[in-house]
Amino acid sequence: MDAQEFRANGQAVIELIAQYLETIEDRPVTADTKPGDVRHQLPAHPPTAPESFESVLADVSNIIIPGLTHWQHPNFFAFFPGNSSYPSILADLLTAGLGVQGMSWLSSPACTEVETLMLDWMQELLGLPESFRSTTASGGGVIQGSASEATLSSILAARWRVTEGQVNKDGDTAKLIAYCTSQSHSSIEKGLRIAGIGTQNIRIIEHDTLFAMVADALEAQILADQAAGLIPFWVCSTHGTTSSGAFDPTSAIGAITQRHKIWLHVDAAMHGIAALAEEHRWVNDGLELADSYCTNPHKWMGVNFDCDLFWTQDRASLLGALSILPEYLRSAAAETGAAIDYRDWQIPLGRRFRSLKLWFAIRCDGTAVFQEIIRRHIQITQELADLVAQDHRFEIMAPHPLNLLCIRLRGASPQDADARTDALIEAANATRSVFFTRTVLEGRSVLRFSIGGRTTHAQHAMSAWGLLRSLA
Amino acid sequence: MDAQEFRANGQAVIELIAQYLETIEDRPVTADTKPGDVRHQLPAHPPTAPESFESVLADVSNIIIPGLTHWQHPNFFAFFPGNSSYPSILADLLTAGLGVQGMSWLSSPACTEVETLMLDWMQELLGLPESFRSTTASGGGVIQGSASEATLSSILAARWRVTEGQVNKDGDTAKLIAYCTSQSHSSIEKGLRIAGIGTQNIRIIEHDTLFAMVADALEAQILADQAAGLIPFWVCSTHGTTSSGAFDPTSAIGAITQRHKIWLHVDAAMHGIAALAEEHRWVNDGLELADSYCTNPHKWMGVNFDCDLFWTQDRASLLGALSILPEYLRSAAAETGAAIDYRDWQIPLGRRFRSLKLWFAIRCDGTAVFQEIIRRHIQITQELADLVAQDHRFEIMAPHPLNLLCIRLRGASPQDADARTDALIEAANATRSVFFTRTVLEGRSVLRFSIGGRTTHAQHAMSAWGLLRSLA
């Protein structure tokens, strides 16, 4: 393919995407497919000669798209819906076309500097603590691929700080203890395990009936561990759990972590973006006490995956944990401290020019668009909760201040209610007109009604609720 | 931005990219910029109202592009040049537009199945061992973001296997010993440190005058460690080191790792793609003995970053190390073993539909295009080496069977030669008409002449060589 063909083919892909998004509601949300169906429609072996672009796009339309789960469908109520706003799609196209590497300042100065600026812009837009800004003596932010990687980076920084860097040499994590609740995201345990903190050294702290960490229980456990000669080093406080949207009490937790000099990470992957709307800025409560923080524009802000924002107030520990400097990566600019080399802020070396999609989204759509979406989803969720509360067959299982509603069918016994709830989720998903995911809260089956799609309006949620009622 | 505006703006971005790539040679390779220059041309604070797409694109043209290092410039001879082929750019656009998550089969079946098929296609195209295929009882492959992540995944799988899974519980890595050479990539030490293997537990094995690991020295060290009660668990053999393109002797190393039941990872990030051309398939020597292997289509194959291919012959250990299964991620398809959930094959949870760019590149351009590029670069490198050998002021510092030539100026003393070589690199880069990176081999300064750009032809390399001669 040459530049001329790229122009024509590019227009065809743009048109395909525009039509896909304009007509997505006409499709089922999920694919009618079983494992192997897609693969078996494609050649088992690679082609021996080039094929036309038309034939490739035809396969996209006829085989790939029907085999997808449509994360941008307005009736996608599973996980947290995916959002690819038009400006962010075009920015990702530009990222691919420019094809630069942002591993160091030298490897593409603008890639680094736009990223730093975007993190500072987002600090302002979200109303985060000033101490996260890159312009401060010890703070700063970076775009990570996902909250999983941000969490792991945070663990590694904490591990480095508590051992005064010794862990880089001896890898000794035997006495290090980490704290979270059973409601924390799976990436917490995964990240800890990767970092050599086995499950025996992970303390699952009690949560209250609202699924939020009990701060007193945290401190009691920390004291017990210290008394046993162990070293508490990392606490995760979640702002919006995946299962139920619960908020751990970061202000209370932060007072404890400060007292005991423990790294506090706040995982706001799900709900931190709510702070774009001033009236929901309570989601930031306690953040001034956090050593690190992450949230995902690739969820509620409509910036297409991957775009996780990770800030720390202690960049020296992050760099201590993650920097490596072979000769072929040295540069004068970085050694004087004038420039940021983002490879030292993340797990991998290589990195794409991801800040372009945040920059395009903020400039082209503007924050009012995001605020409207956030407010709309929260209002729908509250209206829906009112309706659920009026239907005696259902019960609401958790607080729902934002855009996640956890519901369940009642039954003759808890087991009966579980079975009926599981059957309801299965029956609803089997229609392929909606997609819900299941979770378990206090051992009981729950349907998560997650309202986060850019094109999801009240009628979509109400229609899905109608379906649930008719199937119940 | 709505769908209609997206169509028009999309065409503008396609045109911008086409023009950028058509005229890239008219630009300097690197930016005339110092830290802060780009940022200071942009507003310090986010806009309060939406801006026109035209104004954003104007900033891209006037501020961003002049602030980039142009990785696709034909005179980019640093690192390994970046390549974004036209089909892969369009595939990445589609990835952004579809916006699906491939964390599990259920979360988008086609995303998973195309990826598995592409890994199997690539196994064929590269002539890799059959045991890496997904269709075997214990093997399979996955797309990772970078070789750094592949390396880390490999370390974690090895750590799990040698401890029979115990490391997930106790995190105890105290006795685990890893082996590489001083020529291994920086991501090896970084990955090991992340996994709790401190530098004290990393053995730097002697290399020979060709910068390849001395297999006998490896075995001697393994025996010494075993005698000391330690547990050798992971060896990295590099197929094309970053500094000099050296190949460790994987056949000999593999015989040792098999004998001692140690995980062997082969890092072919730099040069594994050479195997697309049959006459260079020697780069695969010994791979049948590897437990895991990675190489980068985002280098020599022109598929835009990020696209690292990672295979293992022991997927059970990989899954043992990396799988986590909370309720909200369960699916019937995966639990029956019929489907692959790629979240368990990688560090993060979320993942983009990255296989599209490999699929587009293979189908639209075809393997003959990649083979031509590989053969062209290797031929240029050999011609260049002949010319360097004829100039008594220079010396060649390492074997150069592929596309990397390491050269250095002679001098009155080694220190004088170092100073002259460093000055030469600086003077050449200061012209901004070329870009080289420096490395150190056996303590001596070396200029890396890395010929890997899709649009790099003989005249570009010869002109750069002329510049070096005139500056020498």
In this structure, the answer to whether residues A321 and A460 fall within a common structural domain is no
Supply the CATH number for residue A64's domain. Answer: 1.20.1340.10
> Hunting for tokens 């969820």 — which residue is that?
A299
Say if the Cβ atoms of A174 and B169 lie within 8 Å. no
User: Who's near B163: CB < 8 A, 6+ residues apart?
Assistant: B172, B176
Among chain B residues, the shortest Cα distance to A100 is held by B71
Say if the Cβ atoms of B50 and A125 lie within 8 Å. no
Domain count, chain A: 3
CA distance B274 to chain A (A): 17
User: What's the CA gap between B349 and A149, in Å, rounded?
Assistant: 9
By the 8 A CB rule, do B56 and A364 touch? yes
CA distance A471 to chain B (A): 21
Query: Taking residues B138-149, what's their average pLDDT?
Result: 96
Instruction: Select the residue from A11, A13, A211 to test the B interface by mutation, using most B Cβ atoms within 10 A.
Output: A13
Say if the Cβ atoms of B109 and A31 lie within 8 Å. yes
Say if the Cβ atoms of A101 and B350 lie within 8 Å. no
| Three-state secondary-structure class, residue B237 | strand
Chain B residues touching residue A305 (CB < 8 angstroms): 99, 101, 350, 352
Beta bridge partners of B207: B213
Interior angle at CA A264, CA A261 and CA A265, nearest 5: 160
User: What's the CA gap between A396 and A92, in Å, rounded?
Assistant: 39
Chain A residues touching residue B368 (CB < 8 angstroms): 49-50
Beta bridge partners of A445: A440
B389-418 pLDDT, tens per residue?
A: 999 999 999 999 999 999 999 999 999 999
Q: Which of B69, B194, B339 sits opposite A107 (nearest CB)?
A: B69
Q: Which of B42, B107, B306 sits opposite A350 (nearest CB)?
A: B306
Q: How far is C-alpha B471 from the geometric centre of its chain's CA atoms?
A: 32
Say if the Cβ atoms of A11 and B16 lie within 8 Å. no
Chain A residues touching residue B448 (CB < 8 angstroms): 328
In this structure, the answer to whether residues B263 and B283 fall within a common structural domain is yes
Q: Indicate yes or no: pTM above 0.95.
A: yes
Q: Please report whether residue A79 resides in a domain.
A: no
By the 8 A CB rule, do A227 and A219 touch? no
By the 8 A CB rule, do A81 and A452 touch? yes
Q: Please report whether residue B84 resides in a domain.
A: no
Say if the Cβ atoms of B350 and A51 lie within 8 Å. no
Query: Taking residues B419-439, what's their average pLDDT?
Result: 97
Residue B9: CB atoms within 10 Å: 23
* pLDDT for the residue numbered B443: 94
Q: What secondary structure does DSSP assign to B4-49, as a single string? A: HHHHHHHHHHHHHHHHHHHSGGGS-SS----TTHHHHTS-SS--SS
Say if the Cβ atoms of B90 and A15 lie within 8 Å. no
In this structure, the answer to whether residues A383 and A255 fall within a common structural domain is no
Say if the Cβ atoms of A93 and B96 lie within 8 Å. yes
CA distance A227 to chain B (A): 20
Whether the pLDDT of residue B338 is over 80: the answer is no
Q: pLDDT grade, residue B83 (50/70/90)?
A: confident
Say if the Cβ atoms of A439 and B328 lie within 8 Å. yes
Whether the pLDDT of residue B339 is over 60: the answer is yes
Q: Which of A174, A243, A327 sits opposite B440 (nearest CB)?
A: A327
H or E element, residue B368: helix B367-390
In this structure, the answer to whether residues A379 and A253 fall within a common structural domain is no
Q: Which of B63, B83, B350 sits opposite A146 (nearest CB)?
A: B350
Instruction: Select the residue from B1, B116, B159, B353 to test the A interface by mutation, using most A Cβ atoms within 10 A.
Output: B1
Supply the CATH number for residue A380's domain. Answer: 3.90.1150.10
Say if the Cβ atoms of A200 and B36 lie within 8 Å. no
Helix, strand, coil proportions of chain B in percent (round to 5)? 50, 15, 35
In this structure, the answer to whether residues B361 and B375 fall within a common structural domain is no
Chain B residues touching residue A53 (CB < 8 angstroms): 87, 364
First-to-last alpha carbon distance for chain A, in angstroms, is 54
Q: Which of A86, A110, A200 sits opposite B1 (nearest CB)?
A: A86
Chain B residues touching residue A330 (CB < 8 angstroms): 438
Query: What is the pLDDT of chain B when averaged over all its residues?
Result: 95
* pLDDT for the residue numbered B326: 64
Among chain B residues, the shortest Cα distance to A45 is held by B121
* pLDDT for the residue numbered B61: 97
CA distance A286 to chain B (A): 24
Instruction: For residue B406, give its domain range.
Output: 371-471
In this structure, the answer to whether residues A378 and A344 fall within a common structural domain is no
Q: Which of A195, A198, A349 sits opposite B194 (nearest CB)?
A: A195
Among chain B residues, the shortest Cα distance to A57 is held by B360
Q: Please report whether residue B88 resides in a domain.
A: no
First-to-last alpha carbon distance for chain B, in angstroms, is 54
In this structure, the answer to whether residues A388 and A356 fall within a common structural domain is no
Q: Please report whether residue B141 resides in a domain.
A: yes
CA distance A274 to chain B (A): 17
Q: Which of A329, A332, A322, A331 is nearest to B243 (CA)?
A: A329
User: What's the CA gap between A24 and B97, in Å, rounded?
Assistant: 12
In this structure, the answer to whether residues B358 and B394 fall within a common structural domain is no
Among chain B residues, the shortest Cα distance to A113 is held by B39
* pLDDT for the residue numbered A331: 63
Q: Please report whether residue B323 resides in a domain.
A: yes
Q: What amino acid is encoded at A145 in this protein? A: G
Say if the Cβ atoms of A22 and B3 lie within 8 Å. yes
In this structure, the answer to whether residues A294 and A430 fall within a common structural domain is no
Q: Which of B342, B365, B388 is the last residue of a domain?
A: B365
Say if the Cβ atoms of A10 and B90 lie within 8 Å. yes
| Three-state secondary-structure class, residue B186 | helix
Q: Which of B54, B14, B29, B154 is nearest to B455 (CA)?
A: B29
CA distance B241 to chain A (A): 11
Q: Please report whether residue B85 resides in a domain.
A: no
For chain A, which residues score pLDDT lower than 70?
326-337
User: Who's near B40: CB < 8 A, 6+ residues apart?
Assistant: none
Q: How big is chain A, counted in residues?
A: 472
Q: Which of B97, B298, B350 sits opposite A17 (nearest CB)?
A: B97
Chain A residues touching residue B150 (CB < 8 angstroms): none
Q: Which of A336, A365, A394 is the last residue of a domain?
A: A365
Q: Please report whether residue B74 resides in a domain.
A: no
Whether the pLDDT of residue B331 is over 80: the answer is no
Is the Cα torsion angle B201, B202, B204, B205 positive or negative in sign? Answer: positive
User: What's the CA gap between B229 and A141, in Å, rounded?
Assistant: 43
In this structure, the answer to whether residues A101 and A63 fall within a common structural domain is no
CA distance A309 to chain B (A): 14
Say if the Cβ atoms of A338 and B35 lie within 8 Å. yes
In this structure, the answer to whether residues A171 and A151 fall within a common structural domain is yes
Work out the widest C-alpha separation in chain B, in whole angstroms.
72
ipTM of the prediction greater than 0.85, yes or no: yes
By the 8 A CB rule, do A399 and A246 touch? yes
* pLDDT for the residue numbered A333: 61
Among chain A residues, the shortest Cα distance to B368 is held by A49
* pLDDT for the residue numbered B337: 67
In this structure, the answer to whether residues B148 and B62 fall within a common structural domain is no
User: What's the CA gap between B74 and B107, in Å, rounded?
Assistant: 40
Q: Please report whether residue B135 resides in a domain.
A: yes
CA distance B339 to chain A (A): 6
Q: What secondary structure does DSSP assign to A396-457, as a single string? A: E-S--SSSEEEEEE--SSHHHHHHHHHHHHHHHHHTSS-B-EEEEETTEEEEEEE---TT--
User: What's the CA gap between B40 and B91, in Å, rounded?
Assistant: 34
Say if the Cβ atoms of B196 and A63 lie within 8 Å. no
Q: pLDDT grade, residue B191 (50/70/90)?
A: very high
Supply the CATH number for residue A158's domain. Answer: 3.40.640.10
Chain A residues touching residue B99 (CB < 8 angstroms): 71-72, 82-84, 89, 304-305
Query: Taking residues B186-196, what's their average pLDDT?
Result: 97
* pLDDT for the residue numbered A324: 84
H or E element, residue B162: helix B147-162
Is the Cα torsion angle B23, B24, B28, B34 positive or negative in sign? Answer: positive
Say if the Cβ atoms of A53 and B110 lie within 8 Å. no
